[in-house]
Amino acid sequence: MEMKTQNLRSLFWHRFKKNKLAVSGGIIVFSLFIIAVFAPFIAPHDPNAINVQHILEPPNLNHPFGTDDLGRDVFSRVIYGSRISLTVGFVAVGIATIIGIFLGAVSGYYSGLMDSVIMRFVDIMLSVPTFFLILAVIAFLEPSILNIMIVIGLTSWMGVARLVRAEFLSLREREFVLAARGLGASDMRIIFRHILPNAMSPVLVSSVLGIAGAVLVESALSFLGIGVQPPTPSWGNILTIGKDNIEIAWWLSVFPGLAILVTVLGYNLLGEGIRDAIDPRLKI
């Protein structure tokens, strides 16, 4: 078993490394992680330091991304904004993945009435536009990073649930599951010990792609003024300032927009690369 696992890992890395786009996505994601972790050492200025003598300065040697309407360094704010966006992405997707795995596993393993009830609930959730549902919930809550992460997580688990359910329906009648059941293993042990580890591949891909979606949602909410609140730097609220000064300060829109673009592109490339490396039907 250990030898087989090592062979699968070697095959995965071999296929992944041959995919140049996937490797590029991995480099982008890793770079963003390093930037977010070491933001205090990379940012040349305090992101919240106001300097009225340098209001709306274009990009220069001292301020590579220019300054905003309060004289704050946009480069430093974009660097610190990566922390907010990636934190929201990871935590929100973590919440969605946990909920989706649990409901999908229960639905796929027990089938019958339990499956019908859970899947009809999933269908109802999918019929509601997710972004407008998030807007409606946030409208009744105080805008904060914690609330945003929770709301995004609670409204984006449906895809994971359906993926896990499909995998469980395929795996629950396999020989190793029947053997575990014949040995008297409990349902929870069979679900979490025997079936779930074999159903995690599509969940991993979905989670990586989901981080990109969560970053976009957080940026959109912050842009609309109901997400991360100033003075905390977020790519979305930097774009809001850019919208208000679009005719005289192009850099306030271009640089945070590029940060969002590169982040979403990186996670999408990484997710697609992992999917291609896992899927034995694809030849790379």
pLDDT per residue as tens digits for the range 245-262: 888 999 999 999 999 999
Quick check: is 284 in a domain?
no
Q: What is the largest CA-CA distance in the chain?
A: 77
| 8 A C-beta contact, residue 88 and residue 214 | yes
Q: Is 112 left (phi over 0), alpha (psi -120 to 50) or beta?
A: left
Quick check: is 207 in a domain?
yes
Q: How far apart are the first and last CA of the chain?
A: 26
Quick check: is 72 in a domain?
yes
Quick check: is 146 in a domain?
yes
Q: Between 266 and 200, where is the model more confident? A: 266
Q: What is the CATH number of the domain that holds 236?
A: 1.10.3720.10
According to the model, what pLDDT value does residue 281 have?
52
Whether the model pTM is above 0.75: yes
Quick check: is 54 in a domain?
yes
Number of domains into which the chain is organized: 1
- DSSP letters along 54-92, please? GTTPPS-SS-TT-B-TT--BHHHHHHHHHHHHHHHHHHH
Quick check: is 283 in a domain?
no
Quick check: is 264 in a domain?
yes
Per-residue pLDDT of 107-162, as tens digits, reads: 988 878 888 999 999 998 888 887 888 887 877 777 778 888 888 898 889 999 99
- Domain extent at residue 21: 2-278
According to the model, what pLDDT value does residue 202 have?
85
Quick check: is 107 in a domain?
yes
Mean pLDDT of 91-112: 91
